Amino acid sequence: MVRFGVIGTNWITEKFIEGAHASGKMQLNGVYSREMDRAQEFAAKFSVDHSFDSLEEMAASDMIDAVYIASPNSFHAPQAKLFIENGKHVIGEKPLASNIHEIESLIALAQEKEVVLFEALKTTYNPNFKILQQALPKLGKLRKVHFTYCQHSSRYQKFLNGENPNTFNPKFSNGSLMDIGIYPLSAAIGLFGEPKSFTAQGVLLHSGVDAHGTLVLHYDEFDAVISHSKVSNGYAPSELQGEQASILIESISECETVSILRQGEPAVVLSQDQGVNTMQYEAGIFADLIETKQTMHSGLDRTCIVSAIITRAREIIGVRFPADEIV
């Protein structure tokens, strides 16, 4: 059983804890917050005795084997570095870091310290994604791919009202590509690997982050078009078109429903019930990697490809973070 601590006391942290416990392989044993009262209040929800208001103390504690990081994006890399240096395994919320340079530095350090580094991006670990992978040969020659994930941010109105919420602030390494586009991009890389080349377009807000945009990944005989937005809601499914059949995916981040369609025939549902909290799958795999001491794994390869594309795409569309100035 992996004893883990958490950085962050928000809804996503609660969801991960529930998923980690559901995996049967992890047990919460420590909570960090900048305010001790908040840490203790959150810990009490899960009957946890160990609370911290110092990251250094938590990282040095022998009460945890691993940490889940769900702080603002710009804090992911420095916090991961601290815990890796203290010999702790790290599962960091997506994006694992602000740019590819931070990713590469963390991987090198994790290898040196012989600990597992893992990006908590659930899409490619869900059972229905595996079903999607296995169904690709049924399409025949692949010709068109369109992955879409557009989700109107609950904090966008605050931004329009003149406030400066973290989610639209470049100081915290945010924006549509980082927060939303990373899901369909990771799915595409998980299915097709690294593209030959790509193009990027984005519309910027006055704060300096992207509101929405499009990536086009160029492969030998098809392009994968990725649409993402934080300022509008999308309801259309994602789609793969082959010469023999097509596949529709409801909610690409979750792969909720995967259906195959052939000309003149009714749609056939391939997917299965994944349960309510799909974070249990990534948590289980993270724990397995720790148990088997696999510090190098395919998830890191995918993380590197995705981060390199997003880093370059941000350069193209003009999104710069403070973290980009530190190389």
Residue whose token pair is 């010709």: 143
Q: What is the pLDDT of residue 327?
A: 59
d(CA 74, CA 109): 18
* Ranges of CATH 3.40.50.720 domains, the chain: 2-121
Neighbouring CB atoms inside 10 A of 95's CB total 26
Q: What is the pLDDT of residue 131?
A: 98
User: What is the CATH number that goes with domain 124-278+310-324?
Assistant: 3.30.360.10
Task: Tell me how many degrees the CA angle 22-258-91 measures, rounded to the nearest 5.
Answer: 35
- How many distinct helices (H) and strands (E) make up the chain? 11, 14
| Pairing mode of beta strands 66-69, 89-93 | parallel
Contact between 13 and 6 under an 8 Å Cβ cutoff? The reply is yes
Query: What pTM does this model have?
Result: 0.96
Q: What is the pLDDT of residue 275?
A: 85
* Ranges of CATH 3.30.360.10 domains, the chain: 124-278+310-324
User: For domain 2-121, which architecture applies?
Assistant: 3-Layer(aba) Sandwich (3.40)
pLDDT along the chain (327 residues), means of 10: 96 97 98 97 96 98 98 98 98 98 98 98 97 98 98 97 95 98 98 98 98 98 98 98 98 97 95 94 98 96 98 98 87
Q: What is the pLDDT of residue 254?
A: 96
Q: What is the pLDDT of residue 326?
A: 75
Three-state SS for 78? helix
The identity of residue 325, as a single letter, is E
